């Protein structure tokens, strides 16, 4: 993805970036001090038995996955003193649901106020510690403004809007406080107890910040001193992790303290030309060499048929072949599962066989254009899922008796699915192409949901020059919790991303809950999930939460949450609570609760001064890109950006004297520039050649973390001067001078301007 400058100017060279009782002796609440947790709570980011070293030299590959070549950090700490590995900057289509390196971090906290609302009782808990403040420096949540405007009309103005970017799975150092017990929740609305709740220390009752109802603590919060309440992490910190180490799922046998490693199925396109196949073979050889000895792999190739390779034949290459024009029958899958063949085998026993299989692959022989070759990708995925969901899946140091279990399917594709389930016609000029494409998308979406139900993530890696019909393949990856990526070829960057995919840390069975006080309501959520059905989570009598089902919980994700108010706000504070519940890779149940409050203001100037322009830009960008589903939609969205800027000036700016024009608010000076970059950049612009590429970038952007989203929206320009110094400059073409190298970081790619002297 590069843009060629006109004339004889030096040509930019794209390089991939690595890119919160009585009055008797007080007993503090239990914390996590178990030796097992302590032992695994402090892994080193770059060392240890699970560390996978880089097997490819340069380039290191784009930052599509988090922490590619290191073991994932344990997502909870043994004690508050346990270190937590610092996450790498990384990448994240996008989901939207509707009902009725950051420059945006605040440099100072808002004034501190008394805990909760009015406190008429003399025995209520004290205000939060000044170190906690209102949680505006919380690493998991960033609001578009650090204060809330009381006037409904302006707060709800769609041109600017109000919202937050939430990264519930993000890992930071030091991590949040951890307690090994179930959280206390409001019996009326389901909100979690937190540091902003009013607590009656004589009776132990606590008042919910969302519905204002009193709840019993069953005597737990009855203490002799108000300060004793601060010993409970949930009453002292904006972010708390509740951990249930014992697995409560039926069918599980307890596993060891080590990370659970599930099987990996590699699906390989048989329809590749010789040059592409040679690159792919090199990447696959390096990939299996990078896997740990206990990892289980399976190999499937697909074209007009599905070939499932058998590891039991030793040096001989053997495969069972199934037809690709239809879904596999129950009898055919039963024959594979209960037969004598071995289709999933640990690396330590099958590495030579895997190398032999890769070396035996042959290029496509027929004289047929790439786009017209038959590929039964859908049937191949169904076969892989059937084998993974076999009667039992053996895991390292434990057996999982239910279907799936932290499994991955890695698809290496060189073209679209044009044969069998989920297929589209070879040509987009087919008279019924639109209808058949929609049918194929529904089929792939259903298959992705089936994979997700069985804890299997499908990552699709495409390479080459053949269009892959991204709108059809994207639902398969998205609904399973995986990603779809495009590459120029099957070379080094492709191989690195394969390695990153196999080691990517991810939680499963995630549920994301959002609760707001004072008639605030969630109007739209954009991110890697879908609205949860009522029977998928616990409900309460007056539960007003907005719930999202997350297919794969990862630290590189974020949700864009847009909010409005039902009426003018009367209170001095508005409370927000975000909770995510998921199972981590160690099969522990994690509930992360983040509670924040924002001060409300009457004055427009105070509100505008609190606006975080970068965060607001990213939220606006995601809301705009979500609607750009096609090339024609993108043109409409570019026009809408101009209207948005005008409306912000009209509603929030001042009218120039003796003129009908309005000055844009000086407090939002950088917002128009970010929106300008959005308008002309790869997300909405036309600087990338094919719609497949733009579609993939949009889907990455909709799910990406704040840091990556900001870079994709507004690139960062850095100049390298003599002496090894770097200087950040505006992202204008004027910085391309003849005496310095210029680096443009666009999130998924880096462009380097190197001076060429004639």
Q: What is the pLDDT of residues 201-252, one digit of tens each?
A: 999 999 999 999 999 999 999 998 888 899 899 999 999 999 987 544 444 4
Q: What is the Cα–Cα distance from 185 to 358, expressed in whole angstroms?
A: 54
Contact 16, 749 (CB under 8 A): yes
Confidence tier at 137 by pLDDT (50, 70, 90): confident
Of 657 and 284, the one with more pLDDT: 284
Lowest mean pLDDT among 367-376, 546-555, 697-706: 546-555
Contact 683, 700 (CB under 8 A): no
Q: What's the half-sphere exposure (Cβ side, CA atoms, 13 Å) at 525?
A: 25
Q: Please give the average per-residue pLDDT across 358-373, as a whole number.
A: 94
Q: Give the per-residue pLDDT at 253.
A: 42
Q: What is the Cα–Cα distance from 617 to 627, expressed in whole angstroms?
A: 16
Confidence tier at 552 by pLDDT (50, 70, 90): confident
pLDDT for residue 757 is more than 50: yes
Return the HEC string of 524-592. Answer: EEEECEEECCHHHCCCCCCCCCEEEEEEEECCCECEEEEEEECCCCCCCEEEEEEEEEEECCCCCEEEE
Q: Give the per-residue pLDDT at 751.
A: 82
pLDDT for residue 86 is more than 60: no
Q: What is the pLDDT of residues 569-611, one digit of tens each?
A: 999 999 999 999 988 877 789 999 999 999 999 999 999 999 9
Contact 112, 130 (CB under 8 A): yes
Token pair, residue 739, equals 């005496």
User: Is the peptide bond preceding residue 707 cis, with omega within 30 degrees of 0?
Assistant: no
Chain Cα centroid distance, residue 340: 40
Q: Please give the average per-residue pLDDT across 603-622, as a whole number.
A: 95
Percent of the chain residues topping a pLDDT of 70 = 76
Q: What is the mean pLDDT of the chain?
A: 79
Quickly tell me which residue has 């974020």 as its tokens.
558
Confidence tier at 84 by pLDDT (50, 70, 90): very low
Q: What is the Cα–Cα distance from 598 to 144, expressed in whole angstroms?
A: 11
Q: Please give the average per-residue pLDDT across 452-470, as a whole number.
A: 91
Contact 265, 387 (CB under 8 A): yes
Topology (CATH level 3) of domain 614-714? 1.20.120
Q: Give the per-residue pLDDT at 519.
A: 83
Q: Give the per-residue pLDDT at 170.
A: 87
Q: What is the Cα–Cα distance from 180 to 737, expressed in whole angstroms?
A: 58
Q: Give the per-residue pLDDT at 396.
A: 35
Q: Give the per-residue pLDDT at 257.
A: 37
Q: Please give the average per-residue pLDDT across 350-359, as a whole number.
A: 94
Q: Fold identical between 264-503 and 614-714?
A: no
pLDDT for residue 11 is more than 50: no
Confidence tier at 66 by pLDDT (50, 70, 90): very low
Q: Please give the average per-residue pLDDT across 346-354, as a whole number.
A: 92
Pairing state of beta strands 750-753 and 13-15?
A: antiparallel
Confidence tier at 345 by pLDDT (50, 70, 90): very high
Would you kindly state where each structural domain of the chain is located, as residue ranges? 264-503, 614-714, 717-753
CATH of 264-503, one of 3.90.180.10, 3.40.50.410, 1.10.10.10, 3.40.309.10: 3.40.50.410
Confidence tier at 30 by pLDDT (50, 70, 90): very low
Q: Is 376 exposed, middle or buried (0-12, 13-18, 19+ CB in 10 A)?
A: buried
Percent of the chain residues topping a pLDDT of 90 = 52
Q: Give the per-residue pLDDT at 96.
A: 53
Q: Please give the average per-residue pLDDT across 47-56, as a whole number.
A: 37
Token pair, residue 227, equals 């300060």
CA nearest neighbour of 701 among 141, 95, 93, 142: 93
Q: What is the Cα–Cα distance from 622 to 526, expressed in whole angstroms?
A: 7
Beta-bridge partner residues of 564: 521
């Amino acid at each position: 993805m590069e843009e060629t400058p006109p004339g004889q100017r030096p040509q930019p060279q794209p390089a991939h970036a690595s890119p919160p009782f009585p009055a008797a002796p007080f007993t503090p609440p239990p914390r996590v001090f178990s030796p097992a947790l302590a032992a695994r709570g402090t892994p080193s980011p770059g060392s240890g038995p699970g560390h996978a070293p880089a097997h490819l030299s340069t380039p290191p590959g784009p930052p599509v996955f988090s922490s590619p070549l290191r073991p994932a950090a344990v997502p909870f700490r043994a004690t508050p003193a346990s270190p937590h590995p610092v996450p790498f900057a990384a990448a994240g289509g996008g989901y939207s649901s509707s009902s009725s390196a950051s420059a945006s971090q605040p440099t100072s906290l808002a004034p501190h106020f008394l805990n909760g609302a009015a406190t008429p009782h003399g025995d209520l808990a004290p205000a939060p510690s000044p170190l906690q403040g209102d949680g505006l420096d919380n690493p998991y949540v960033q609001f578009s403004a650090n204060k809330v405007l009381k006037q409904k009309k302006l707060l709800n103005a769609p041109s600017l809007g109000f919202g937050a970017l939430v990264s519930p799975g993000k890992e930071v150092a030091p991590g949040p406080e951890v307690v090994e017990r179930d959280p206390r929740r409001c019996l009326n609305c389901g909100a979690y107890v937190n540091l902003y709740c009013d607590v009656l220390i004589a009776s132990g009752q606590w008042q919910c910040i969302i519905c204002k109802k009193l709840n019993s603590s069953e005597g737990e919060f009855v203490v002799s001193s108000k300060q004793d309440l601060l010993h409970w992490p949930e009453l002292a910190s904006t972010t708390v992790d509740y951990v249930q180490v014992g697995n409560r799922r039926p069918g599980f046998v307890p596993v060891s303290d080590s990370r659970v490693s599930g099987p990996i199925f590699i699906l390989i396109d048989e329809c590749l030309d010789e040059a592409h196949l040679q690159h792919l073979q090199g990447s696959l050889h390096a990939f299996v060499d990078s896997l740990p000895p206990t990892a289980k792999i399976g190999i499937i190739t697909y074209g007009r048929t599905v070939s499932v390779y058998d590891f039991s034949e030793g040096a001989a290459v053997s495969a069972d072949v199934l037809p690709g024009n239809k879904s596999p029958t129950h009898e055919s899958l039963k024959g594979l599962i209960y037969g004598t063949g071995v289709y999933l085998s640990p690396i330590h026993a099958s590495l030579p066989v895997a190398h032999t299989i890769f070396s035996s692959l042959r290029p496509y022989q027929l004289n047929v254009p790439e786009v017209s070759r038959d590929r039964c990708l859908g049937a191949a995925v169904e076969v892989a899922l059937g084998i993974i969901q076999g009667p039992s899946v053996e895991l390292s140091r434990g057996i999982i008796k239910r279907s799936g279990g932290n499994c991955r399917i890695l698809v290496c594709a060189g073209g679209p699915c044009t044969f069998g389930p989920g297929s589209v016609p070879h040509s987009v000029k087919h008279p019924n192409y639109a209808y058949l494409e929609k049918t194929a998308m529904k089929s792939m979406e259903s298959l992705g949901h089936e994979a997700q139900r069985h804890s299997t993530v499908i990552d699709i890696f495409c390479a080459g020059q053949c269009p892959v019909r991204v709108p059809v393949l994207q639902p398969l990856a998205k609904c399973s919790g995986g990603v779809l990526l495009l590459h120029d070829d099957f070379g080094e960057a492709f191989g690195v991303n394969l390695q990153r995919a196999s080691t990517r840390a991810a939680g499963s069975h995630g549920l994301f809950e959002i609760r707001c006080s004072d008639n605030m309501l969630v109007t739209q959520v954009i991110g890697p999930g879908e609205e949860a059905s009522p029977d998928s989570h616990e409900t309460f009598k007056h539960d007003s939460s907005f719930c999202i089902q997350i297919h794969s919980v990862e630290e590189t994700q974020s949700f864009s949450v847009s909010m409005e108010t039902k009426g003018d706000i009367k209170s001095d504070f508005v409370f927000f609570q975000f909770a995510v519940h998921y199972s981590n890779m160690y099969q522990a149940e994690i509930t992360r609760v983040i509670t924040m409050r924002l001060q409300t203001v009457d004055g427009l100037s105070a509100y505008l001064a609190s606006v975080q322009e970068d965060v607001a830009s990213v939220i606006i960008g995601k809301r705009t890109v979500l609607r750009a589903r096609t090339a024609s939609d993108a043109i409409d969205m570019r026009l809408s950006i101009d209207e948005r800027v005008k409306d912000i000036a009209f509603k929030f700016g001042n009218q120039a004297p003796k003129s009908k024009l309005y000055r844009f608010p000086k407090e939002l000076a950088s917002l128009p520039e970010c929106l300008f970059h959005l308008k002309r950049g790869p997300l909405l612009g036309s600087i990338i050649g094919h719609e497949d590429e733009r579609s993939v970038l949009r889907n990455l952007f909709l799910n990406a973390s704040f840091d990556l989203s900001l870079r994709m929206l507004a690139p960062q320009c850095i100049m390298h001067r003599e002496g090894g110094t770097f200087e950040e400059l505006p992202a204008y073409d004027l910085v391309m001078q003849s005496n310095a190298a210029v680096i443009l970081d666009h999130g998924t790619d880096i462009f380097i301007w190197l001076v060429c002297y004639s």
